[in-house]
Amino acid sequence: MTDEEHVPTMAPGLMQAYAPEETDEAPDNRRRRSNQYDPIANLRKWEPRTRLGAAVMAGKIISYEAALASGLPIREVQIVDALIPNLEDAVISVNMIQRMTDSGRRVRFNVMACVGNRDGYVGLGMAKAKEVATAIQKAITAAKLNLIRVQRGNGSWESSPGPGNTVPFKVNGRSASTRVTLMPGAKGKGLVIGETGKRVLELAGIEDVLSRTKGQTRTTINYAAATFNALQNINTTRISKTQRENLYIHSGRKL
């Protein structure tokens, strides 16, 4: 038997967790917060509690696409960390909530966070806690458990035929009174959208888009949620095989 037969098949995140000397050599350019949760270190002491988690730990499922195809619900954040270890996170909004009780004024923090791998996967989540750091980590965890695949293509009449990284067709998203319309943009156009929506689209891996907004766009939470809802609506739209080929639509990562 060769040496390769003794090496078990593992998810990418688990391989990094059990081989930390390789990850320490490569610098991490992402901004780190103090006392930040380390998903790779947490995988070393992970004990799966669900069927899907046990399958990932055993090496039966080594990609997020296979986890979705299994039909099992993703209820452990470690599953996402193991299958997509390169997720980036961004804090969209931090709000302080005050409530007057019999014992005095009660202060809590409401945080919205967005995660994505800049290649077809993005998630949005919200959480509350007494401390900002705790609320941020809870929001990031909620965003990872709310991860969706983003369908990208080349739906702009200005672009030449070929693959693209824009929305394949016009799609609407809504959250409360805020409405966001995403339209295909020509290659090189960039993200023509507000700063809040741009952060969500960047983490989703969309590089070119045109947009139109209505309502209270100054409400950061609703603006981000409406943009995320528009990306969700792409997945619920019926697309024929011919349209998928003509628009060069691909879902999720470019494997």
The CATH number of the domain where 236 resides is what?
3.30.230.10
- pLDDT confidence bin for 36, thresholds 50/70/90: low
Residue 66 resides in a domain? yes
Residues 98 and 168 in one domain: no
User: Tokens at residue 204, please?
Assistant: 């989703």
pTM to 2 decimal places: 0.86
Instruction: Give the domain extent around 75.
Output: 10-83
User: Tokens at residue 191, please?
Assistant: 């993200």
Q: What angle do CA 254, 11, 25 make, to 5 degrees?
A: 85
Residue 164: how many other CB atoms lie within 10 Å: 25
Q: Encode pLDDT of 179-225 as tens digits.
A: 999 999 998 899 999 999 999 999 999 999 999 999 988 899 999 99
Residue 4 resides in a domain? no
Percent of the chain with pLDDT over 90: 61
Residues 241 and 161 in one domain: yes
Number of domains comprising the chain:
3
- pLDDT confidence bin for 94, thresholds 50/70/90: very high
Distance, CA of 73 to CA of 68 (rounded, Å): 8
> How confident is the model over 57-84, as a mean pLDDT?
93
Residue 238 resides in a domain? yes
Distance, CA of 54 to CA of 67 (rounded, Å): 12
Residues 163 and 197 in one domain: yes
